[in-house]
Every structure is written in structure tokens, then in C-alpha cells.
Chains A and B, each alone.
Chain A
Amino acid sequence: MTVRSTATPDPAEHCTVQVAGTTLSLLPERAAYWHTERTLFIADTHWGKTASFRTRGLAVPETIAADLSRLDVCLAQTGAQRLVLLGDCLHDRRGRDAALEATVAAWRARQAAVEVVLVGGNHDRHAGPPPAAWAFATVTQFAAPPFIGAHFPQPATNGYVLAGHLHPVVTIGGRWARPLRAPCFWFGAQVGVLPAFGSFTGGHVITPSAGERVFAIGPGQVVEVRC
């Protein structure tokens, strides 16, 4: 892949992409912002995954506080009024506990003005519904033309799908140097896939087809790469 630099900056100097006739800003904090509807999209937070690992004897530090402040940065920078979580908000039932629920509830209290919509993902099904205190509106699909917010990246007849689930990662370089892996946004003709938001989430290396656009996330910046 080679790096291309055609993306035009938005007012906050974010990398932008034109999809379905509208503009999305791609934030290096692993979120996408839709100006027109003042809506922030994120996917695959996997809250509770670290705790789930710890109960099985794997010493992963807790990352939720840092992830929530990163989310605060996104909301503050964009002034979003609505947050759409594209599934896999909670990792599993085992990782859920009072401490986690309280941490998120405290975050929710400081972001009370923002409407939060959760599109259920496969992990959410196992983990159970979010606690009432979080005040998340749970839906199976978020429809706001021209977009459909979904968890699984499958094309829909009624709009352009923004999805998660895949945790897309792109590899750059590699002929002479050691290849570099970076999480990415991946936009096809009918579906766009967001990177996993959670810090402790793995990645899946994608192989984009011709015509699809890939935006790699580096430290503090998003750049388009060409395959």
C-alpha cells in the first residue's frame, strides 16, 4: 500500500471522506463524525473484556477510563449531540460487574446531554442489555438517511451501511521494511467499516478490492492509503 494525501481537511483539520453524498470526518481517536446530523459513530468498545481476561488469570490493566476520556475528547471536539455505538459495546457477561457499570454510569452522567444509541452486536447478545442507568436506546438497526447504522457489515437496500464487527487493520509497506499494522476505516460502495474503538481489541487484516478506500490511523492522524 502507498500513502495518498488527497483528503480535504474539515474545520477541525480532520481527515474527511465523501460517502453516500455526505461528508464524514474520520477522527484518529477511532471515531467517525457526521456533521449534518451532529452524530458521532464508534464501534466495538468491548467494555469488560479486560476484566473478563483478568478473571481467567491474564493480567491486563484496566483500560476503560482511558477509553472513556478518549470518547470525551471526540464529543468535545465535534460537539456531537448523538452517539451511535455500532455494536459489541459489552464484551461478555463475565466481564460485567458493578465497578464497570458504575464507571460507565458516571461517564453517562457527565455526558447526559448526548443521546446514546446502541445497535446490538453479537457480543451484546451474550453480555445482556446495558443497565438502565446508562440510558442507552437499544435498537437492532439505526436508520438515518442516507445511513444505516448496523453491527454486521452487510449491504442493505435502504441506505449506506456504517458497521463495525470486523476490527479492520491494514498493513503498510513490507517489501524492504517490516510491515506496519494500523487500525483503519474501510469504505466500499455500499458499506463502510469503522475500526474497533476499544484499546484492548485485536485486529483483522483486510484485503480491499479496487475502488474501495482505506484510511489508516497513525499517532494523532488519519491518512488515506492506496492498496
Chain B
Amino acid sequence: MNIELHINGRTVRREVDDRILLAEFLRHHCGLTGTHVGCDTSQCGACTVKLDGAAVKSCTVLAAQASGGSVTTVEGLAQGNTLHPVQEAFVQCHGLQCGFCTPGMMMAVEHFLRSCPASLDDEAIHHALEGNICRCTGYVNIIAAVRRAAAAMYPREWGHFAALAGEGA
């Protein structure tokens, strides 16, 4: 069937098999391999993208279901050469090691921070990251990266976290 999607600001039209997953569509039909597939039971979150403004697991959505909508992938986070505050925070806080879970993790974090969070305590962040698995970092620096990104995005409310770099829980 004919899929039309607005992906990272560009309109893409392709003729594909009805059963193709959004993740596969992005990776193998649009050349956007930044979104990764890490499991087959919708548990790991490595495939997380933004679909019509909400973070979803692209391995559990058919491209057909998404068709007509708007997708942002990790490749769409940066503005030109400027990293998104979430990307910058992950780099500064050593929030990635092998990098495989990272795109999906950052998309989940970006969703959490789409509006100023009411709480950045451990419980709130754990809850926000419940859909994402990382095997390398133990999450300690990822949690620090969330706080640091919030500080950059909402300096008035969360600016006091700005100094975080590589700090643990």
C-alpha cells in the first residue's frame, strides 16, 4: 500500500507491503538507521520515535497505521549542527556507552521533557524511562542526563541541575 509520512520535516511517499513495521520502514526504506530494533516483544524501547507528537515504539506500529502522520526520529532532533539539549546532555553526562539504546532512550526523554516536568525526582524519571532498557550504563548517567537536559530546557525551574556531568544518582 501507499504510505505517506512527514518524517523529520520532509514528506516521504513509498509503496510498501501492508505489514511493514514503522521501524523497518524508517530503517530500510528511508535510510534512517538511527532508530534501532532491540527486541521483538515491545519491551526494550530502542525503536522509540515521535509519532504525531507522542513517543511510541516504532516496532509495534505498522507504517500503515502511521501513514498520514508526522514522525520525528533521532535524526530529526538536532537543529542543523546544534545538538538538541537532550543529545548534548547525554554526551556531557556519559549517558551512553555502546550507543544502541541511545536514540530510543533520548526520544523517550524528549517526550518526558516536552513540557516542563513537575518533578525530576528519581521516581518520576524511573517512571518516564520504564519503556527503555539499557544494558551498558546501569542508567545512572542517563538519569543525570535527564536532569541536565531539563536544566538546559527549563532554566528557570530546573536550572540548578545545570552543573551535572557524570554525577550519579
A, B co-complexed: no
